[in-house]
Amino acid sequence: MLEKIKKIGVLTSGGDAPGMNAAIRAVTRSCAFYNIECIGIYRGYQGLIEGDFELLTARSVRNIINKGGTFLKSARSQEFRTVEGRAKAYKNLKDAEIDALVVIGGDGTFTGAIHLEKEHGMPVVGIPGTIDNDINGTDYTIGYDTALNTVVDAIDKIRDTASSHDRLFLVEVMGRDAGDIALNAGIGAGAEEILIPEEDMGIERMLDSLTKSRKSGKTSSIIVVAEGEKSGKNIFELADFIGENLTDYDIRVSVLGHIQRGGAPSCYDRVLASKLGVGAVEALLRGETGVMVGITHKLVTSVDFEVAIKGSKPLDKELRRVLNITTI
């Protein structure tokens, strides 16, 4: 264990995700366990620049493990994107005698951390907290499992109406670059089709498929559409396009939107956040820096920030195949 780490700062940055509070709690408690002071930094990198700090003790984080959002708040910071901004941030860290940093967020968060670490030698370890599951080097990101449950719960409700009225619903879910939410929630909600960023399966093929299922006796259907899907139409244009081509379908659109980000985290996300929170502090104590701790088959592992944010994860083709089979 490195003797020199006496004070660790922790912040959340980027879009909030359920389980971020559980991660902050685990970081704080791990610090207490190892007799390290823990400093909460409010509003992400912007708060770092403004010196918006507060001492966190084991008691400060009571009764937050089940709360959505992040009590440390999050914010975008234009200033932190500049060399000057990061210099200011580093000065605040030094003034507060913070020896190392844990940053919780997604790829933007880790990009900021890379700069801070390279320019100032600040030890930083990251924790993947984003509902999008679009980070390499970890099987799951914190918040993703909860978001999936929120989405299937919402589509279960929508299906009540779809079935009652024999309708076709297009349901838009989050995922600008990654189809993970659409694919998993699509299977989970028993959707007939999914549209995702990773593939352009051609909407003609979808029309064929819908025509076929209508003939086979299906009267209602759900199509899950990821934000970033590749047809080139937005979801309302898609609905119009289908309506023009398949006149016996009564079509509706539902955009799930921001409800997907909030809510009490699932048990899985709370446990994952607890493991990664402990793992991040212990990684710093082992002398690691410039890495993200992630989960790989139940084990906490470290990968370089560059690996974590590089390129996009490949689509789970096996899961794609499962969807095709189970929607026959």
Opening angle at CA 101, ends 62 and 147, nearest 5:
55
Q: Residue 226: what are its φ and ψ, rounded to 5°? A: -75, 145
Q: In the complex, what is the shortest distance from the CB of residue 107 to its own copies, in angstroms, rounded to a whole number? A: 18
Amino acid code (one letter) for 324: N
CA-based end-to-end distance of the chain: 56
Paired with 10 in beta bridges are: 40, 102
Closest CB to its own copies among 71 and 114? 71
Annotated active-site residue in 52, 132, 145, 269: 132
Closest CB to its own copies among 241 and 268? 268
Closest CB to its own copies among 94 and 157? 157
Q: In the complex, what is the shortest distance from the CB of residue 119 to its own copies, in angstroms, rounded to a whole number? A: 27
Task: Write the secondary structure of 88-130 as one string of H (helix), E (strand) and C (coil).
Answer: HHHHHHHHCCCCEEEEEECHHHHHHHHHHHHHHCCCEEEEEEC
Sign of CA pseudo-dihedral 148, 154, 157, 162: negative
Closest CB to its own copies among 4 and 59? 59
The tokens of 50 are what? 């403004």
Q: In the complex, what is the shortest distance from the CB of residue 108 to its own copies, in angstroms, rounded to a whole number? A: 14
Distance of alpha carbon 325 from its chain centroid, rounded?
Answer: 28
Paired with 287 in beta bridges are: none
The tokens of 205 are what? 């093929």
Closest CB to its own copies among 30 and 289? 30
Q: In the complex, what is the shortest distance from the CB of residue 169 to its own copies, in angstroms, rounded to a whole number? A: 7
For residues 209, 213, 218, 223, the Cα torsion angle rounded to the nearest 10 degrees is -10
Q: In the complex, what is the shortest distance from the CB of residue 21 to its own copies, in angstroms, rounded to a whole number? A: 10
| 132 counts as catalytic | yes
Q: In the complex, what is the shortest distance from the CB of residue 306 to its own copies, in angstroms, rounded to a whole number? A: 24
Paired with 173 in beta bridges are: 226
Q: How far apart, in whole angstroms, are the C-alpha atoms of residue 211 and residue 248? A: 9
Closest CB to its own copies among 49 and 65? 65
Contacting residues for 210 by C-beta, under 8 A, at least 6 apart:
168, 192, 193, 221, 242, 246, 249
Q: Please state, in angstroms and as integers, the Cα–Cα distance from residue 34 to each residue in 158, 244, 280, following that order.
A: 48, 64, 13
* Enzyme catalytic residues: 132
